[in-house]
Amino acid sequence: MDHFSYLIDRQHRFLLLGIVFLVLSVVFTLSGGTLERFRGIVYRAEDPKRFWGNIAFYCLAGLICIGLYLCQIAN
């Protein structure tokens, strides 16, 4: 048993991760800048194609995590 198991059950971790990804996609969309690996911050005005690609990644990752959570709960 780990020390932080009281924070969230093992079965709800995918749900939490999915919610975090979706909230990040909304925050990054409203702020106009996303985080990109090895590149730093990508702004919507400077590189819109890369910006919207990152937003799509965050949304897709969030939906996949929530889908995994629902599949895990159904079984």
- The answer to whether residue 41 is domain-embedded is yes
The answer to the question of residue 66 being in a domain is yes
Query: Does residue 61 fall inside a structural domain?
Result: yes
Total domains in the chain come to 1
pLDDT digit string, tens, across residues 25-35:
999 999 999 98
In a domain, residue 5? The reply is: no
Angstrom distance (rounded) from CA 62 to CA 46:
25
Q: What would the two tokens of residue 35 be? A: 């985080």
For residue 32, the enclosing domain spans: 15-74
Assigned domain for 37 exists: yes
Asked, for residue 43, whether it belongs to a domain, the answer is yes
Integer Cα distance of 66 and 45 in angstroms: 31
Mean pLDDT confidence for 46-70: 94
Q: Measuring CA to CA, which residue among 12, 17, 58, 6 is closest to residue 35?
A: 58
Q: Kindly report the pTM of this predicted structure.
A: 0.81
